[in-house]
Amino acid sequence: MYLYSLTLQRATGVVCAVNGSFVGGKTQEIVVARGKTLELLRPDEAGRIQILHSVEVFGAIRSLAQFRLTGSQKDYLVVGSDSGRLVILEYNVAAARFDKVHQETFGKSGCRRIVPGEYLAVDPKGRAVMVAACEKQKLVYVLNRDAAARLTISSPLEAHKSHVICYSVTGIDCGFDNPIFAAVELDYSEADLDPTGQAAADAQKHLTFYELDLGLNHVSRKWSEPVDNGANLLVTVPGGGDGPGGVLVCAENFVIYKNQGHPDVRAVIPRRDDLPAERGVLVVSAATHRQKSLFFFLLQTEYGDIFKVTLDHEGGERVKELKIKYFDTIPVTSAMCVLRTGFLFAASEFGNHALYQFQSIGDGPDVEASSTTLMETEEGFQPVFFQPRPLKNLLRIDQVESLMPIMDMKVTNLFEEETPQVFTLCGRGPRSSLRILRPGLAISEMAVSQLPGTPSAVWTVKKNVNDEFDAYIVVSFTNATLVLSIGETVEEVSDSGFLDTTPSLAVSLLGEDSLMQVHPNGIRHIREDGRINEWKTPGKKTIVKVGSNRQQVVIALSGGELIYFEMDITGQLMEVEKHEMPGDVACLDIAPVPEGRQRSRFLAVGSYDNTIRILSLDPDDCMQILSVQSVSSPPESLLLLEVKASTGGEDGADHPASVFLNAGLQNGVLFRTVVDMVTGQLSDTRSRFLGLKPPKLFSAMVRGRQAMLCLSSRPWLGYIHQGRFLLTPLSYETLEYASSFSSDQCAEGVVAVAGEALRVFTIERLGETFNETVIPLRYTPRKFVLVPKKKHLVIIESDQGAFTAQEREENKKVFFEATGIGENGTANNGDQMENGGGDNDEEKDPLSDEQYGYPKAVSDKWVSCIRVLDPRTGETTSILELQDNEAAFSVCTVNFHDKEHGTLLAVGTAKGLQFLPRKSLIGGFIHIYRFIDDGKGLELLHKTQVDGVPLALCQFQGRLLAGIGPVLRLYELGKKRLLRKCENKLFPNTIMSIHTYRDRIYVGDIQESFHYCKYRRDENQLYVFADDSVPRWLTAAHHIDFDTVAGADKFGNIFFARLPQDVSDEIEEDPTGGKIKWEQGKLNGAPNKVEEIVQFHIGDVVTCLQKASLIPGGGECLIYGTVMGSLGAMLPFTSREDVDFFSHLEMHIRQEHPPLCGRDHMAYRSAYFPVKDVIDGDLCEQFPSLTPDLQRKIADELDRTPGEILKKLEDIRNKII
Amino acid sequence: MQAIDRLTIDSQLEHLQAEYVGTGHADLNRFGWAVNIQRDSYASYIGHYPLLSCFASAENESVGWERYNFMQKVLLPCGLPPEREGD
């Protein structure tokens, strides 16, 4: 089996982020690393985050830093990854990609203990960069520029010290003196040798300054001083005239200012009132704001509170006071970026990222801790307390969706739509949600207005070519035309000159400033000064089809006569040529006039005899047929789409100009073919089934480029994104007719008619594969099941170290009474306990948990609930909060033999579970629930105590199989409890998944991969007949076929395990089912071993797997979801030729286009196990972004043209989604 | 001659072990071996962000706290070292 692996939704979580001016000039951009993709983001004028560029690097990005050479206008990006290399990137604006400026190898690849890459620090003046490992190694590279102003990099200078752990590094701002780097270090050499533990207790962290002597080209330890043992993060303090220099050391509970030759200035970090006393406060992310005369730091704690830190230094080098003032509370971030334009980009560690605008910089009164008021008592320093409050200094203006972490996923067509939906459980704690993903682009509806009658078509027209916005919306009905003018409001007008007593066939702008209306009986040409010219059809013939652009009009009369008009210099529409077609014309289209030309050269005409003809419009061979293409079904609609030549721009790679002929056929297929610009010959045809209705094609504008709207049983958008043509469905209802729309409220919108309504909408988040519907949940969701027939979901949610909803409500009430803030919401309303999704919740709920996080409880306290949810309405029909420190971990539906109760729900729970110091629990339980109220509610039937955590439950032959620790047990339903029927205690660690098929049971062990079991009914015995020879720390499993299971492990690999065919046959034929062999027990585990037939490193922890098809009629593929919030698919190849083609393509791209961050592609995909029989589609899909020369070179090697390769890539993607 | 060879090989090995922290040697005891494995594992957890966030969501802590905690554990990953025997 060969698989094609393709990421459908790239990771949405963020590992780290830096801001800088990467494009150059005044603008500021943010570079985010999303695990294995690097992205360049920029907030636009409206404050919405736009993705400028996104590239997969096939490696784990661990750290980012930005620097600028003195006097330069543009920032470089330094990337620390698992490649054992330091990579410096520069954003190439013209080609819209990151260019590798330098790549310096210093060690082995992989995330190792002593190989640098974990930490990066740059000199604030951009003269040196330090790259450090968790332990021992630190390397310094000197950066400079050569005569041609190119960036140069030196060979590395070592600053190693053995037996030293490094917590954080940063560059010290010391103006133009020798660059200095600071590091928090801990020496463990003595602790390792001292059995009494004295040395370990005395181990002291040090703050060490490393000085790079630029003259001697040497790094030396300049200064080292003990620092608080809770130190974890360093923040550079501006120096060299702008400030005092030195560093802020963020430690548990403290922030300390340190500098060489300066006494420590220490202040406590204020604590939340409700924080348990044993918990510390740790700073997890930091951002610095720097202006000419002002600087401050924003530090965020692990609970989400942001503090503003200011230093009082009175212009000198001495710091008198360090103040820590409560600023605001936002969800915990992995990185924060303060932009010069007054925005704060907060990359959340879990859940949606946000862009905030500064309302003020925290000058108002708030809880403040200062170094001068620091009180030391016998128990240590006196803490300062505060209460989080609603946002005061920040205002959220945009969100970027993040699925991170996906905890569970199911693909099913629950809503009976055209394509299946992906149900994902996302997020954590108060920010958790159920997200329903549908393939397609999200749209935002701007207006819907009812019309009198059912419209058949709609157009928008400008009054003048140079106008920015459209002037009229023209709607045609079966017997009338309605003209609406666009202004402050949209209202009907009658002075437009359009004929309103007849239906219209086309309305458009002609020439510079005149309008044209084509109706069945003629053409009405409305000049700018109000003069109207009418052209009437000869005899009884009527116009049936029209094609036009700004200069040319072609009409088709009934009977098949074509008449061609052109605009002359005086602005008159003149008849030029007539042509008789063999039969009625089904559709026709003219391309827009190319820039700098008089006319467009091609006319495309579709006929009912299943052909499309290209006719010339040139004066010398006017109406000559240039080429003919026969198609499978009569064409319904044609669109000539011109792709302008570009050498990159905002989004594109290089591609030459070309014209595509698109045809929507009556059988629902969209047919695309390239039109030769000179001869008009058609080549390179592609077709794709879009839906049950014949697609109607319209031109639209997307990011200033021509794009195509296809309206079939659902709407689609064809557009160019990052140099690649994408055809993506829109998540919207069926539309009849559409036209692009531009007004001052929406620059690039679409106006469409459907039913009796006129709809205006814009298309959002271009380039995304899915759009989502979010339903908030209460605690971290763990698993869910679909209740068949009823179409409800049962979700189990549990959180460690949190308070139950009731306790929180009570605490809140006490707090509100104490502080006197009126609580507007009704506290007893169940909805209040949910996490609000919208913005208005902030007003309703003064302390929404989504924003502030749940208060921390002691770590052995669990909260958990079982929720029944109707996904159609998003309504929770029933919620059971588990009591007594119980938490749910597994769930399944089960139909027992006796059929008395029908479908029951089994939930596995644990009471008083603790992971540290050793996993322990008071008891495990299996709850059996009955569905009541037509599946909307649950009623407890009984509860059975078991001796471990039931992590896996599954129905098997009318009984319940449970994996309880290392025990696989079969239960029968009893009156008062479950009855043990059979068990096998011989599993190595903990059973985490159970799948069954016929009489086989596929058991996944948390640490030891899969075990294939059989149940022998007559002997009542469960026995293992095959297992895996590789230890696999399973995180997800899915049954593929009788002999095969797919699994994913903790280290980010996906594999398929298959029982060899002969062994499988032998076991099936053997009357004892291989039991004799098993009983011999000589073979160290099971008598048979499965083979791992597929190996692939995803590079992300896969949490869920499912075999499903995402398109109607498409082949099944394996869909996976990961912790970083990405979704991917693995499609089995059906032909050997494709395998050959793609493996060669992959090989060539690997050679010609090595990954950006220096990791070898093959090594990355084989990080833990050599990759086997999987072709990396993500790499193949980088083909369109290569330079045309490289594309041609690779294509030549494969004996194909680049176009054919692009077509192949498009085809295989279309098989998946 | 042979003795000198052995000496140089030994010193070369020693040098290699000093350079590549975590490489085993003939006299490695059970404790040292376990400590190396634990430290390598912690470094790997810290380096692989998805793994770190996986731990974070299991323990309901922030990712930053997990990272700090793993770094702290590098000091004594397997408890106190055993008493030296013999010498």
- Left (φ > 0), alpha (ψ -120 to 50) or beta: where does A998 sit? left
| pLDDT tens per residue across span A1116-1156 | 999 999 999 999 999 999 999 999 999 999 999 999 999 99
Return the higher-pLDDT residue of A649 and A780.
Answer: A780
* pLDDT exceeds cutoff 80 at A1028: yes
Q: For residue A648, give Cα distances in angstroms to A21, A52, A240, A904, A1149.
A: 19, 12, 41, 58, 20
Residue A488 included in any domain: yes
* Cis omega (within 30 of 0) for bond into A405: yes
Give the separation between CA A605 and CA A920, rounded to whole angstroms: 76
From the list B18, B51, B76, the residue facing A1101 with the nearest CB is B51
Residue A36 included in any domain: no
Beta-bridge mates of residue A886: A911
At A314 the pLDDT is: 79
Q: In this complex, do B68 and A62 lie within 8 Å of one another by their Cβ atoms?
A: no
Residue A1007 included in any domain: no
Task: Tell me if A630 sits within 8 A of A605, measured CB to CB.
Answer: no
Which strands make up the sheet holding A724-729, listed edge to edge?
A696-702, A705-711, A715-721, A724-729
* pLDDT exceeds cutoff 70 at A889: yes
> Domains of chain B: which residue ranges?
3-75
At B24 the pLDDT is: 78
Give the separation between CA A1118 and CA A1099, rounded to whole angstroms: 17
Which strands make up the sheet holding A49-56, listed edge to edge?
A16-20, A29-33, A37-43, A49-56
Give the separation between CA A1159 and CA A1168, rounded to whole angstroms: 14
| pLDDT tens per residue across span A404-421 | 999 999 999 998 888 899
Give the separation between CA A1205 and CA A980, rounded to whole angstroms: 59
From the list A203, A428, A1035, the residue facing B75 with the nearest CB is A203
Give the separation between CA A939 and CA A898, rounded to whole angstroms: 19
Task: Tell me if A49 sits within 8 A of A103, measured CB to CB.
Answer: no
Prediction pTM value: 0.91
* Closest chain B residue to the Cα of A199, Cα to Cα: B80
Q: In this complex, do A428 and B60 lie within 8 Å of one another by their Cβ atoms?
A: yes
Task: Tell me if A232 sits within 8 A of A252, measured CB to CB.
Answer: yes
**Position A10: which residue type?**
R
* Closest chain B residue to the Cα of A163, Cα to Cα: B21
Q: In this complex, do B20 and A1100 lie within 8 Å of one another by their Cβ atoms?
A: no
From the list A15, A203, A428, the residue facing B49 with the nearest CB is A15
Residues A258-283 have a mean pLDDT of 92
Whole-number percent of chain A with pLDDT over 70: 95
* pLDDT exceeds cutoff 90 at B20: no
Provide the pairing of β-strand A1091-1097 with A218-226. Answer: unpaired
Task: Tell me if A386 sits within 8 A of A852, measured CB to CB.
Answer: no
Q: Nearest-CA neighbor of A1164 among A1093, A1094, A1101, A1096? A: A1096
Residue A599 is given by DSSP the state: S
Q: Which of B15, B37, B62, B73 to mutate to test the interface with A (most CBs of A within 10 A)?
A: B62
CATH label of the domain that carries residue A572: 2.130.10.10
Which strands make up the sheet holding A862-870, listed edge to edge?
A781-787, A792-800, A862-870, A875-881
Residues of B with Cβ-Cβ distance to A800 under 8 angstroms: 59-60
Give the separation between CA A269 and CA A299, rounded to whole angstroms: 10
| pLDDT tens per residue across span A1036-1057 | 999 999 999 999 999 999 999 9
Task: Name the one residue in this structure whose structure tokens are 């531009």.
Answer: A742
Residue A805 included in any domain: no
Determine phi and psi for A1146, rounding to 5 degrees. Answer: -60, -45
Residues A931-942 have a mean pLDDT of 92
Interface membership of B16 toward A (CB under 8 Å): no
At A656 the pLDDT is: 58
Radius of gyration of chain A (CA): 34
Give the separation between CA A1147 and CA A1158, rounded to whole angstroms: 17
* Closest chain A residue to the Cα of B75, Cα to Cα: A188
Cα of B2 to nearest chain A Cα, Å: 32
Residue A1114 is given by DSSP the state: P
Which strands make up the sheet holding A394-400, listed edge to edge?
A333-338, A343-348, A353-358, A394-400
From the list A62, A284, A1035, the residue facing B62 with the nearest CB is A284
Strand locations in A34-84, DSSP E?
37-43, 49-56, 61-67, 76-81
Give the separation between CA A433 and CA A413, rounded to whole angstroms: 20
Q: In this complex, do A165 and B71 lie within 8 Å of one another by their Cβ atoms?
A: yes
* Closest chain B residue to the Cα of A915, Cα to Cα: B59
Q: With cut-offs at 50, 70 and 90, classify the pLDDT of residue A651.
A: very low
Cα of B4 to nearest chain A Cα, Å: 28
Give the separation between CA A902 and CA A896, rounded to whole angstroms: 7
* Closest chain A residue to the Cα of B84, Cα to Cα: A195
Q: Nearest-CA neighbor of A1169 among A1032, A1037, A1035, A1044? A: A1032
Burial class (CB in 10 A: 0-12, 13-18, 19+), A1045: buried
Return the higher-pLDDT residue of A379 and A279.
Answer: A279
For A1186-1190, the CB contacts below 8 A with 24+ separation are: A1186/A653, A1186/A1149, A1186/A1152, A1186/A1153, A1187/A653, A1187/A654, A1188/A654, A1188/A655, A1188/A656, A1190/A1152, A1190/A1153
Give the separation between CA A1074 and CA A1070, rounded to whole angstroms: 6
Residues of A with Cβ-Cβ distance to B44 under 8 angstroms: 111-113
Give the separation between CA A965 and CA A985, rounded to whole angstroms: 9
Q: Which residues of A55-70 are buried (b: 16+ CB within 10 A; e: fewer)?
A: bbbbbbbbbbbbbbbe
Interface membership of B24 toward A (CB under 8 Å): no
At A650 the pLDDT is: 44
Q: Nearest-CA neighbor of A60 among A1170, A1173, A1098, A1152? A: A1098
Residues A279-290 have a mean pLDDT of 94
Interface membership of B86 toward A (CB under 8 Å): no
Q: With cut-offs at 50, 70 and 90, classify the pLDDT of residue A801.
A: confident
Residues of B with Cβ-Cβ distance to A136 under 8 angstroms: 21
Burial class (CB in 10 A: 0-12, 13-18, 19+), A1056: buried
Task: Tell me if A139 sits within 8 A of A181, measured CB to CB.
Answer: no
Residue A679 included in any domain: yes
Residues of B with Cβ-Cβ distance to A351 under 8 angstroms: none
Residue A333 included in any domain: no
CATH label of the domain that carries residue A1125: 1.10.150.910
Radius of gyration of chain B (CA): 18
Residues A783-802 have a mean pLDDT of 91
Give the separation between CA A1090 and CA A1030, rounded to whole angstroms: 10
Q: Name, of A326-340, A498-512, A732-746, the range with top average pLDDT.
A: A326-340
Interface membership of B28 toward A (CB under 8 Å): no
| pLDDT tens per residue across span A748-776 | 889 999 888 999 998 877 878 898 899 99
Interface membership of B75 toward A (CB under 8 Å): yes
| pLDDT tens per residue across span A551-588 | 899 999 988 899 999 988 888 888 888 888 888 899 99
Interface membership of B82 toward A (CB under 8 Å): yes
From the list B21, B48, B63, the residue facing A136 with the nearest CB is B21
- Left (φ > 0), alpha (ψ -120 to 50) or beta: where does A1020 sit? left
Q: In this complex, do A405 and B76 lie within 8 Å of one another by their Cβ atoms?
A: no
Dihedral sign (CA A229, A234, A237, A239): positive
Record the tokens describing residue A565, joined without a space.
């008009």
Domain count of chain A? 2
**Position A41: which residue type?**
L
Q: Name the 3-class secondary structure at A3.
A: strand
Residue span of the structural domain in which A1138 resides: 1117-1216
Q: Which residues of A339-371 are buried (b: 16+ CB within 10 A; e: fewer)?
A: beeebbbbbbbbbbbbbbbbeeebeeebebbbb
Return the higher-pLDDT residue of A1084 and A368.
Answer: A368
Burial class (CB in 10 A: 0-12, 13-18, 19+), A333: buried
At A842 the pLDDT is: 38
Cα of A37 to nearest chain B Cα, Å: 13
Q: In this complex, do B54 and A1101 lie within 8 Å of one another by their Cβ atoms?
A: yes
Residue A768 included in any domain: no
Residues of B with Cβ-Cβ distance to A284 under 8 angstroms: 62-65
Which ipTM was obtained for this model? 0.93
At A826 the pLDDT is: 35
Residues of B with Cβ-Cβ distance to A106 under 8 angstroms: none
At A168 the pLDDT is: 96
Beta-bridge mates of residue A385: A271
| pLDDT tens per residue across span A450-469 | 888 899 999 999 888 888 88
Q: Nearest-CA neighbor of A1055 among A1004, A1016, A1021, A1014? A: A1004
| pLDDT tens per residue across span A814-867 | 766 665 444 443 333 334 444 444 333 333 444 567 777 777 777 778 999 999
Q: Nearest-CA neighbor of A547 among A570, A566, A568, A525? A: A566
Provide the pairing of β-strand A254-259 with A262-268. Answer: antiparallel
Give the separation between CA A640 and CA A643, rounded to whole angstroms: 10
Q: With cut-offs at 50, 70 and 90, classify the pLDDT of residue A807.
A: confident
Give the separation between CA A1211 and CA A1209, rounded to whole angstroms: 5
**Position A166: which residue type?**
C
Interface membership of B84 toward A (CB under 8 Å): yes
Return the higher-pLDDT residue of A86 and B8.
Answer: A86
Residues of B with Cβ-Cβ distance to A111 under 8 angstroms: 43-44, 46-48
